[in-house]
Amino acid sequence: MRIGFIASVLLTLSAFAAEPFAPYASVKPVLDALAGQLPAALKNADQSKWNAWSRQEDRAIRARLEQGDLDSMVNLLLFGTSFTSRSRIQIQELAEASKSGLLRARVDDLVRGMQAPGANERLIFVRNLLRRKGIDPDAPGEKTGVFILQNLERVLKENVVFSQRIQQGSSRAQVFRDRGVSLDTTILPSFGLEETLRDLKSRGLLRNGGVTRAAVIGPGLDFADWDAGYDYYPQQTLQPFGLYDSLMRLGLAKTGALEVTVFDISPRVLDHLRAARERARRGEGYTLQLPRGSSLQSRPWTAPTLRYWQNFGDQSGLPVDPIQPPSTLESVEARAVRIRPEAILSCTPADLNIVLERLNLAAAEKFDLIAATNMFVYYDAFEQALALENIHTMLKPGGWLLSNDRLPELPDASMQREGATSVWYTDTANAGDTFFWYRKH
């Protein structure tokens, strides 16, 4: 083994082992610029106040993961097919589903599923989640079902609040600032990133082979999302391999020369990727299931979106036979791809709270590109500004952050918004994203 390669690996492992909180001196410009928007604990901030607040806030942010998990449980209740053969329920059909008994029947099926989950990892996860909340799914009585319905009611009430905030003209961050951090994801943001990368390349802002180190923040885990809610296949993460694929497809990275770091605060996401990497070391691939159709919103995809779905994985893996959807899912077109071990091993997970932490990287280890989709939406403007400062320290000069959230632009900041790319996922009005490009100067 080459000495240079060993040194590079040791340097990377050393950097990833240290995840320090951002120092006070680094965030002071943000505190000064947003003095009127700071939490009470940071008024007249000094190093001591910052250290105390940042540690407490880190715990608070990570605690929001559990509320997001409960939201995912509600999605599983309404849309899941792995524990029941009954019809799925759209939000607008809840009143009728409650009246007809369908909702109660699905609750009962979910409880029975948790009592005998077998190898169903989603049911096992929800079972353990409820136990952490003091609910024993095996206990007689209605307590488990009542708890599930209470969380459904909570989600519905929160949706009303979110809708009111949207009608009042609030930004996405203001709308979802107190929402649980959910891991549910879909293929669409990865398509949006590819279109944005294509746009940057066409403008001469990214060059062939120019990306050797990239990162994804909060890629998510396919559990039971709010739109399609598929749960008939194992949990999976899409975006790390989607980004790898896009960089290769567009010629922005070279085979064998790309490293993708996956930042997350969720032990579920990190452990999932670590397990995939361990299997890859034994020569095993990572199979992604890519169902399409039977969306609860019944929105037809645009032709570019469809082509992206058809080609997903062609740079990082090979097509394989998909798991066939259950008969309760009509008009679902299924395909699958097995990601090659070398592509899996190019993706390294790292526990990092981007709002409050950064890796202390040597110049050669800094990133050319960082992507974050549907992630900043959970944080207010102050927290977003802190995250932007941490991202700035981890990018190479001229490096890019791509996000479908518009972030606060502070005076004299080193990260500046250079432009944006609009991407349409479906033929329905307003069914798309705007991806903003931020560059380190």
Query: Over the stretch 299-315, which tens digit does the pLDDT of each residue have?
Result: 788 999 999 999 999 99
- The answer on pLDDT for 7 being more than 70 is no
230 lies in the same domain as 103: no
* Run of H or E residues at 14: helix 3-17
| Residue 5 is assigned to a structural domain of this protein | no
Kindly compute the dihedral angle of the four CA atoms of residues 66, 72, 73, 79, in this order, to the nearest 10 degrees.
180
147 lies in the same domain as 237: no
Domain boundary, last residue among 175, 207, 241: 175
Question: What is the percent of the chain with per-residue pLDDT over 90, rounded to a whole number?
Answer: 71
| Residue 246 is assigned to a structural domain of this protein | yes
pLDDT, residue 432, reads 87
Question: What is the percent of the chain with per-residue pLDDT over 70, rounded to a whole number?
Answer: 91
257 lies in the same domain as 200: yes
Domain boundary, last residue among 175, 205, 221: 175
- The answer on pLDDT for 328 being more than 70 is yes
How does pLDDT run across 62-81, given as a tens digit for each residue? 998 888 899 999 999 999 99
Contact 398, 439 (CB under 8 A): yes
Structural domains of the chain, count: 2
Over range 358-385, report the average pLDDT. 94
Over range 3-18, report the average pLDDT. 42
pLDDT band at 141 (very low <50, low <70, confident <90, very high): confident
Over range 136-143, report the average pLDDT. 92
Question: Average pLDDT, whole number, for the chain?
Answer: 89
pLDDT band at 377 (very low <50, low <70, confident <90, very high): confident
291 lies in the same domain as 412: yes
pTM: 0.89
- The answer on pLDDT for 13 being more than 60 is no
> Which CATH number is 381's domain given?
3.40.50.150
User: Which residues constitute the domain of residue 127?
Assistant: 58-175
| Residue 409 is assigned to a structural domain of this protein | yes
Distance CA 348, CA 209 (A): 20
Distance CA 116, CA 212 (A): 46
| Residue 238 is assigned to a structural domain of this protein | yes
386 lies in the same domain as 408: yes
- The answer on pLDDT for 37 being more than 60 is yes
CA angle (433, 310, 210) in 5-degree steps: 65
Helices and strands counted in the chain (H then E): 14, 10
- The answer on pLDDT for 399 being more than 90 is yes
Higher pLDDT, 18 or 415: 415
- The answer on pLDDT for 2 being more than 60 is no
Domain boundary, last residue among 135, 152, 175: 175
In the numeric block, the tokens 């715990």 are attached to 59
What angle do the packed helices 102-115 and 143-167 form, to 10 degrees? 120
Distance CA 217, CA 403 (A): 10
pLDDT, residue 296, reads 44
- The answer on pLDDT for 9 being more than 60 is no
pLDDT, residue 174, reads 65
129 lies in the same domain as 270: no
154 lies in the same domain as 289: no
Top-ranked range on mean pLDDT: pick from 54-58, 140-144, 329-333: 54-58
401 lies in the same domain as 336: yes
pLDDT, residue 298, reads 57
How does pLDDT run across 81-119, given as a tens digit for each residue? 999 999 989 888 999 999 999 999 999 999 999 999 999
Kindly compute the dihedral angle of the four CA atoms of residues 118, 121, 124, 129, in this order, to the nearest 10 degrees.
-170
Higher pLDDT, 229 or 288: 288
95 lies in the same domain as 210: no
Distance CA 393, CA 16 (A): 15
239 lies in the same domain as 335: yes
Distance CA 382, CA 232 (A): 39
134 lies in the same domain as 198: no
| Residue 362 is assigned to a structural domain of this protein | yes
pLDDT band at 123 (very low <50, low <70, confident <90, very high): very high
326 lies in the same domain as 214: yes
Over range 383-404, report the average pLDDT. 96
Higher pLDDT, 372 or 377: 372
pLDDT, residue 429, reads 63
pLDDT band at 371 (very low <50, low <70, confident <90, very high): very high
Those residues whose C-beta lies under 8 Å from the C-beta of residue 238, and which sit 6 or more positions away, are 185, 186, 187, 190, 219, 220, 222, 288
Distance CA 66, CA 72 (A): 10
